[in-house]
Amino acid sequence: MGTGNALRNRRRCQHAGRRHPRAGRPCDPPAVITCHLRYEIDPDRIEAFERFARRWMELVERHGGTHHGYFLPSEGASDIAYALFSFPSLAAYER
Protein backbone atom coordinates (compact mmCIF):
# COMPACT_ATOMS: atom_id res chain seq x y z
CA MET A 1 0.00 0.00 0.00
CA GLY A 2 2.49 2.71 1.01
CA THR A 3 6.22 3.16 0.89
CA GLY A 4 7.96 5.72 3.03
CA ASN A 5 11.08 7.82 3.15
CA ALA A 6 12.16 9.78 6.21
CA LEU A 7 13.38 13.26 5.35
CA ARG A 8 15.12 15.55 7.79
CA ASN A 9 13.91 19.11 8.12
CA ARG A 10 15.13 21.79 10.46
CA ARG A 11 13.19 24.03 12.81
CA ARG A 12 14.45 27.34 14.15
CA CYS A 13 16.18 27.28 17.51
CA GLN A 14 14.97 29.67 20.19
CA HIS A 15 18.40 31.33 19.87
CA ALA A 16 18.12 31.68 16.08
CA GLY A 17 20.87 33.87 14.69
CA ARG A 18 22.50 34.34 18.11
CA ARG A 19 25.16 32.32 19.86
CA HIS A 20 23.88 29.53 22.06
CA PRO A 21 24.51 30.57 25.68
CA ARG A 22 26.15 27.26 26.68
CA ALA A 23 28.00 26.32 23.52
CA GLY A 24 29.35 29.74 22.56
CA ARG A 25 28.46 29.08 18.93
CA PRO A 26 25.31 29.22 16.82
CA CYS A 27 23.08 26.38 17.90
CA ASP A 28 21.81 23.70 15.58
CA PRO A 29 18.04 23.70 15.37
CA PRO A 30 16.39 20.45 16.46
CA ALA A 31 15.82 17.89 13.72
CA VAL A 32 12.31 17.13 12.55
CA ILE A 33 11.53 13.85 10.83
CA THR A 34 9.12 14.14 7.90
CA CYS A 35 7.81 10.99 6.24
CA HIS A 36 6.61 10.88 2.65
CA LEU A 37 4.28 8.04 1.71
CA ARG A 38 3.11 7.03 -1.75
CA TYR A 39 -0.13 5.11 -2.09
CA GLU A 40 -1.56 3.30 -5.07
CA ILE A 41 -5.34 3.40 -4.63
CA ASP A 42 -7.58 0.65 -5.90
CA PRO A 43 -10.42 2.49 -7.71
CA ASP A 44 -12.88 -0.11 -6.39
CA ARG A 45 -11.84 0.58 -2.79
CA ILE A 46 -11.85 4.38 -2.57
CA GLU A 47 -14.18 4.42 0.45
CA ALA A 48 -11.87 2.01 2.31
CA PHE A 49 -8.89 4.24 1.54
CA GLU A 50 -10.77 7.29 2.81
CA ARG A 51 -11.52 5.50 6.12
CA PHE A 52 -7.88 4.38 6.37
CA ALA A 53 -6.64 7.92 5.65
CA ARG A 54 -8.85 9.54 8.30
CA ARG A 55 -7.82 6.97 10.89
CA TRP A 56 -4.11 7.35 10.07
CA MET A 57 -4.38 11.14 10.51
CA GLU A 58 -5.92 10.64 13.95
CA LEU A 59 -3.17 8.20 14.98
CA VAL A 60 -0.33 10.45 13.88
CA GLU A 61 -1.80 13.37 15.84
CA ARG A 62 -2.48 11.20 18.91
CA HIS A 63 1.15 10.06 18.99
CA GLY A 64 2.61 13.57 18.87
CA GLY A 65 3.06 14.01 15.15
CA THR A 66 1.65 16.44 12.64
CA HIS A 67 -0.17 15.08 9.62
CA HIS A 68 0.17 17.47 6.69
CA GLY A 69 -2.52 15.79 4.62
CA TYR A 70 -3.01 13.66 1.56
CA PHE A 71 -2.17 14.97 -1.87
CA LEU A 72 -3.95 13.77 -4.99
CA PRO A 73 -3.63 14.88 -8.60
CA SER A 74 -5.85 17.83 -9.39
CA GLU A 75 -6.29 16.89 -13.04
CA GLY A 76 -6.48 13.70 -15.03
CA ALA A 77 -6.99 10.12 -14.00
CA SER A 78 -4.54 8.75 -11.47
CA ASP A 79 -4.57 6.14 -8.74
CA ILE A 80 -1.63 7.66 -6.82
CA ALA A 81 -1.88 9.64 -3.59
CA TYR A 82 0.85 11.03 -1.33
CA ALA A 83 0.86 11.75 2.39
CA LEU A 84 3.24 13.77 4.56
CA PHE A 85 3.55 13.68 8.32
CA SER A 86 6.23 14.89 10.74
CA PHE A 87 7.48 14.12 14.22
CA PRO A 88 9.70 16.37 16.35
CA SER A 89 12.51 13.79 16.48
CA LEU A 90 13.50 10.33 15.32
CA ALA A 91 12.84 9.01 18.84
CA ALA A 92 9.28 10.40 18.77
CA TYR A 93 8.70 8.84 15.34
CA GLU A 94 9.93 5.41 16.50
CA ARG A 95 7.61 5.31 19.55
Q: Average of pLDDT values for 63-76?
A: 86
User: Are the CB atoms for 47 and 27 separated by under 8 Å?
Assistant: no
The pLDDT assigned to 87 comes to 94
- Domain residue ranges in the chain: 2-94
Give 6-55 pLDDT, tens digit per residue. Answer: 443 333 445 455 555 555 555 555 668 999 999 998 888 989 999 999 99
**Torsion sign across C-alpha atoms 44, 77, 36, 68:** negative
The pLDDT assigned to 54 comes to 94
Greater pLDDT, 2 or 43: 43
The pLDDT assigned to 4 comes to 44
The pLDDT assigned to 1 comes to 43
**Torsion sign across C-alpha atoms 78, 71, 41, 87:** positive
Fold of the 2-94 domain: Alpha-Beta Plaits (3.30.70)
The pLDDT assigned to 31 comes to 67
Greater pLDDT, 69 or 75: 69
Which of 92, 84, 80 lies closest to 37, judged by CA? 84
